[in-house]
């Protein structure tokens, strides 16, 4: 029999100074502990100790040269968390703030998210403390080459297939893939998020954002509601925010905010035209990490150093980074009448913000459900690569919609509470956990 406080105290002892990892595990354990304690097979198999310990953790040195000819040293990581359901799968993040603990939290979350997709994918995450901010295109190219020179030793098309995440978009995947091919001389689809002419899947760039909107649509449908006419706040301005803005607009909603580390944009006209979406892509590849220029270009308002959660909206989609939406933000959103919240970044909401939404009975989707569309289409990209053919955008989109519907159904199956409130956090955690845990029991140790 597991006791929550005892288990978490042990975990903290074994993983000191990794607050994000502890936070992510705490959120999952809270949801699943009763299910585990009700099943002696889980308890006897020490399932919680085993599922919270990464299979393998790699840290490596990345040496490269900047444009001034100065030698730079960064640290690369790959956390191969759990490969029970399939090869390790998960993105690469390039961001100054990352530590080993960040990748452990992300790899842990990825394991359950990938389980929810219904595809045979294990969970992993990696990246580097390299910051693309202010770097030239050539510096990014040189860093990607140096990073792949090391990473290629630890990955393989049937072992571990990385993809993008914060700071790693189509351009970086291209540079990384090019270097892998130069070293190995093979076309094995070792990364996902590739360009459409060299093995990538159509809809992959849009998939995380589209998936989140498909999930929101399922949430609304269940409540005899729809996205039409909804006012939406999103944070971030990268790939995910971009996909959300596009699909939300297509379904008749209006996205009124985007944000960056410098502040947020309030665009009452809506972030709803191809020109604006293209501009978001330009902002990202300019490597300045700011949204302010959008305000001048499109006559919108720029609010410096603030987050978009103070804007009254019907739906909120945090799409930037972990812990970007706090309890204070949650209180403001609820006070202003928010009807749905979809955590679209990984662990975008603090645990107390998440608990507040649930306590207030706001339909709230956790990241591992709402943002699973990205990795799901990565799984579809792997399938296309293995078959040496490619599906049309419509075929991929249809599969993505079906996957998001299935994830929503899984949340409904395991997330119903006595008073008819649907607790998506509990539902997603139990559904994601059960599949991995049952497979671990079947495979022995
Ligand atoms: N980084 C994305 C995620 O958090 C995508 C991972 C992938 O496609 O492998 O799920």
Q: What DSSP string runs through 385-404?
A: HHHT----HHHHHHHHHHHH
Each of the 445 residues of the chain gets a pLDDT tens digit; together they read: 999 999 999 999 999 999 999 999 999 999 999 999 999 999 999 999 999 999 999 999 999 999 999 999 999 999 999 999 999 999 999 999 999 999 999 999 999 999 999 999 999 999 999 999 999 999 999 999 999 999 999 999 999 999 999 999 999 999 999 999 999 999 999 999 999 999 999 999 999 999 999 999 999 999 999 999 999 999 999 999 999 999 999 999 999 999 999 999 999 999 999 999 999 999 988 888 899 999 999 999 999 999 999 999 999 999 999 999 999 999 999 999 999 999 999 999 999 999 999 999 999 999 999 999 999 999 999 999 999 999 999 999 999 999 999 999 999 999 998 778 999 999 999 999 999 999 999 999 9
Distance CA 27, CA 358 (A): 13
Reported pTM:
0.98
Write down the residue that tokens 């001389």 correspond to. Answer: 185
CA distances from 71 to 74, 87, 139, 404 (A): 10, 35, 11, 45
CA 28 to chain centre: 16
Nearest CA to ligand 1 atom 9: 90
- Cα separations in angstroms, 28 against 9, 18, 63, 162, 255: 15, 16, 37, 24, 31
Pocket test for ligand 1, best of 115, 378, 385 (most atoms within 8 A of CB): 378
Question: 225-261: buried (b, 16+ CB within 10 Å) or exposed (e) per residue?
Answer: bebeebbbbbbbbbbbbbbbbbbbbebebbbbbbbbe
Atom of ligand 1 nearest to the CA of 193: 8
Q: Torsion-angle region of residue 305: left (phi > 0), alpha (psi -120 to 50) or beta?
A: left
Which domains occur in the chain, in start order? 54-184 (3.40.50.10860), 207-370 (3.40.50.720)
Using only C-alpha atoms, the chain has a radius of gyration, in whole angstroms, of 21
Nearest ligand 1 atom to alpha carbon 110: 10
The strand pairing partners of 162, in sequence order, are: 90
91 C-alpha to ligand 1 centroid (Å): 4
Q: Could you give the CA distance from residue 344 to residue 325 in angstroms, rounded to a whole number?
A: 11
Between strands 88-94 and 160-163, the pairing is parallel
Classify 263 in phi/psi space as left (phi over 0), alpha (psi -120 to 50) or beta: left
């Amino acid at each position: 029999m597991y006791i929550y406080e005892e288990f978490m105290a042990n975990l903290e002892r074994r993983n000191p100074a990794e607050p994000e990892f502890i936070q992510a595990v705490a959120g999952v354990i809270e949801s699943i502990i009763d299910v585990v304690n009700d099943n002696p097979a889980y308890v006897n198999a020490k399932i919680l100790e085993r599922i919270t310990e990464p299979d393998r953790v790699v840290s490596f040195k990345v040496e490269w040269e900047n444009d001034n000819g100065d030698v730079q040293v960064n640290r690369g990581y790959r956390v191969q968390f759990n490969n029970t359901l399939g090869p390790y799968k998960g993105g690469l993040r390039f961001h100054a703030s990352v530590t080993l603990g960040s990748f452990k939290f992300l790899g842990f979350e990825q394991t359950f998210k990938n389980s929810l997709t219904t595809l045979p994918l294990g969970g992993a995450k990696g990246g580097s403390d390299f910051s693309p901010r202010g770097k030239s295109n050539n510096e990014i190219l040189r860093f990607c080459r140096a990073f792949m020179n090391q990473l290629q030793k630890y990955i393989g098309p049937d072992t571990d297939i990385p993809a993008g995440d914060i700071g790693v978009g189509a351009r970086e995947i291209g540079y990384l893939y090019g270097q892998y091919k130069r070293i190995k001389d093979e076309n094995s689809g070792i990364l996902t998020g590739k360009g459409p002419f060299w093995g990538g899947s159509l809809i992959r760039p849009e998939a995380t954002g589209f998936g989140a909107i498909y999930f929101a649509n399922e949430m609304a449908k269940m409540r005899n509601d729809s996205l039409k006419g909804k006012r939406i706040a999103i944070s971030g301005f990268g790939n995910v925010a971009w996909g959300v803005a596009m699909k939300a607009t297509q379904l008749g909603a209006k996205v009124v905010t985007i944000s960056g580390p410098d502040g947020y944009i309030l665009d009452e006209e809506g972030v709803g035209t191809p020109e604006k979406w293209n501009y978001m892509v330009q902002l990202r590849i300019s490597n300045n990490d700011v949204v302010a220029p959008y305000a001048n270009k499109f006559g919108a308002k720029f609010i410096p150093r603030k987050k978009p959660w103070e804007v009254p909206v019907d739906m909120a989609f945090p799409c930037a980074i972990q812990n970007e939406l706090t309890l204070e933000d949650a209180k403001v959103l609820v006070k202003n009448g928010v009807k749905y919240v979809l955590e679209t970044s990984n662990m975008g909401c603090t645990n107390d913000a998440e608990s507040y939404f649930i306590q207030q009975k706001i339909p709230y989707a956790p990241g591992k459900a709402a943002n699973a569309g990205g990795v799901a289409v990565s799984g579809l990209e792997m399938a296309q690569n293995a078959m040496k053919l490619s599906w049309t955008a419509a075929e991929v989109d249809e599969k993505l919609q079906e996957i998001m519907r299935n994830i929503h159904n899984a949340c409904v199956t395991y997330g119903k509470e006595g008073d008819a409130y649907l607790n998506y956090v509990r539902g997603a955690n139990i559904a994601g956990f059960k599949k991995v845990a049952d497979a671990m029991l079947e495979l022995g140790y």
